[in-house]
């Protein structure tokens, strides 16, 4: 069980108090902000002692000013909703177009910008959020609970639950940027990635899924065996050009929920990071829009200097009947679990 403590992290520009929670378990520790439920640090034992492997900002003001989603919890709907609108039960719901023609990561003020309630429960950190009916254009009042747990064997678990009083859409994830060489390393070096998926969802020039499920065989997306990320990025493929790098949903299951499954394994710097999930997809995103962003402790986060492993229901699922459903029925429970386990290689 982790040792849990809490300190103040200042106030948002609107005057809301924000706390920084710390969970320590053996040689591992994490810090989580009540602002955006952000995973601010993930310190793991490494050759030099302790290494922080997730990117983040130094101050609350910097978190508020950026739009990279560093470490944040994402909702109500992770990734893109094409055309920034959807129909549900015969009603049309317009949303904010905050990413070209799409609605990205929940809209203008997604869960990544909310101040969550937090409490300790049995050595875990429980974050809760009340999202009112109509927030960011989505129907139904949604009660959300995300629990962060950390164990001495280096397993960080995120358990996501939600319930709405009306039919709505729900697809929650975490947007941590990892670099196993250390958050401030500045490049991916020779880190490798393995993603246990036979297909990706093809996307168009707006990063919206076309509906086609593209087998990875013979493409840079064939990561079923470990591949050096830099070598994969250097390959020639129209989907990589469109994404400005890897920024794709890999298909893990065809159902909205599956058994816990190893989705991805990354290695580098003497460490191994495994991502397990019950979600049907994982967005592998190689930080293609970072451009020397200011980070923690004076770090500078350059182009493709980290990667995100965002477990999710497939992007734009509401517009594709062949995708797992993203509809959460009123009164039903939304629940999924993702773990990130870091061990020595």
Q: Which stretch binds ligand BGC (CB under 6 A): 125-133, 143-151, 184-192, 281-289?
A: 281-289
Compute the least distance from the CB of residue 310 to ligand BGC, in Å. 5
Which of 28, 285, 323, 334 forms a contact with ligand BGC (CB under 6 A)? 285
Asked if 76 is part of the footprint of ligand BGC (rule: CB under 6 A), the reply reads no
* Euclidean distance between the first and the last CA atom of the chain, given in angstroms as a whole number: 24
| Nearest distance, CB of residue 108 and ligand BGC, angstroms | 14
Can residue 289 be called a binding residue for ligand BGC (CB under 6 A)? yes
Minimum CB distance to ligand BGC smaller for 80 or for 253: 80
Minimum distance from residue 284 beta carbon to ligand BGC (Å): 9
CA dist., res. 272 & res. 313, Å (int)? 25
In this structure, the dihedral spanned by the alpha carbons of residues 135, 140, 145 and 146, taken in order and rounded to 10 degrees, is -60
Q: Of 310, 313, 317, 324, which lies in the binding site for ligand BGC, with binding defined by CB under 6 A? A: 310
Of residues 21 and 314, the one with the C-beta less far from ligand BGC: 314
Pairing of strands 73-74, 173-174: antiparallel
What one-character DSSP code corresponds to residue 291? S
- Considering only 68, 76, 304, 320, the residue that binds ligand BGC (CB under 6 A) is 68
Which residues carry out catalysis? Answer: 175, 310
183: number of Cβ within 10 Å: 26
H or E element in which residue 6 lies: strand 3-11
Q: Nearer Cβ to ligand BGC, position 9 or 69? A: 69
Residue 98 interacts with ligand BGC (CB under 6 A)? no
Q: In what order do the strands lie in the sheet with 247-251?
A: 177-178, 307-312, 281-285, 247-251, 199-203, 209-215
Q: Cα–Cα distance between 215 and 218 in angstroms, integer?
A: 8
CB of 73 to ligand BGC, least distance (A): 13
Binding mask 172-211 for ligand BGC (x = CB under 6 A): -----------------------------------x----
According to the binding rule CB under 6 A, does residue 247 interact with ligand BGC? yes
Quick one: 79 or 164, whose CB is closer to ligand BGC?
79
Cα torsion 238, 239, 244, 250 to 10°: value is: -160
Of 138 and 285, nearer to ligand BGC (C-beta) is 285
21, 42, 69, 221: residue in contact with ligand BGC (rule CB under 6 A) = 69
The whole-angstrom separation of Cα 89 and Cα 128 is 28
Q: Does 320 bind ligand BGC (CB under 6 A)?
A: no
Closest approach, Cβ 68 to ligand BGC, in A, equals: 5
**Alpha helix positions (H), 25-98:** 60-65
Distance, CA of 336 to CA of 174 (rounded, Å): 12
DSSP state of 302: -
- Backbone dihedral angles phi then psi of residue 125, each to the nearest 5 degrees: -105, 120
Residues in contact with ligand BGC by CB under 6 A are 68-69, 79, 207, 247, 283, 285, 289, 310
């Amino acid at each position: 069980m982790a040792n849990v403590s809490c300190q103040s992290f200042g106030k948002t520009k609107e005057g809301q108090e924000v706390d920084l929670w710390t969970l320590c378990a053996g040689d591992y520790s994490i810090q989580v902000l009540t602002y955006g439920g952000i995973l601010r640090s993930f310190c793991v034992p490494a050759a030099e002692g302790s290494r922080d492997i997730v990117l983040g900002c130094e101050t609350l003001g910097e978190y508020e000013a950026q739009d990279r989603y560093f470490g944040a919890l994402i909702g109500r709907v992770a990734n893109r909703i094409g055309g920034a609108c959807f129909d549900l039960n015969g009603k049309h719901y317009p949303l904010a177009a905050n990413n070209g023609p799409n609605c990205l990561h929940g809209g203008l003020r997604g869960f990544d910008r909310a101040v969550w309630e937090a409490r300790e429960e049995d050595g875990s950190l429980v974050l809760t959020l009340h999202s009112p009916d109509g927030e960011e254009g989505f129907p139904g009042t949604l009660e959300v609970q995300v629990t962060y747990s950390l164990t001495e064997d280096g397993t960080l678990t995120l358990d996501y639950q939600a319930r709405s009083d009306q039919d709505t859409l729900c697809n929650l994830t975490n947007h941590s940027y990892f670099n196993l060489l250390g958050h401030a390393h500045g490049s991916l070096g020779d880190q490798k990635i393995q993603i246990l998926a036979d297909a990706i969802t093809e996307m168009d020039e707006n990063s919206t899924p076309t509906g086609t499920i593209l087998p990875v065989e013979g493409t840079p997306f064939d990561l079923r065996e470990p591949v050096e990320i830099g070598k994969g990025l250097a390959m020639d493929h129209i989907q990589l050009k469109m994404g400005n790098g890897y920024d794709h949903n890999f298909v893990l299951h065809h159902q909205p929920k599956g058994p816990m499954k190893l989705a991805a394994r990354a290695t580098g710097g003497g460490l191994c990071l495994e991502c397990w999930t019950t979600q049907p997809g994982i967005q592998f995103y190689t930080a293609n829009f970072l451009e020397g962003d200011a980070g923690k402790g004076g770090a500078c986060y350059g182009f493709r200097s980290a990667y995100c492993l965002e477990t999710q229901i497939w992007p734009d699922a509401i517009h594709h009947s062949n995708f797992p459903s993203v509809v959460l029925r009123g009164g039903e429970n939304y629940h999924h679990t993702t773990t990130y386990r870091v061990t020595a290689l």
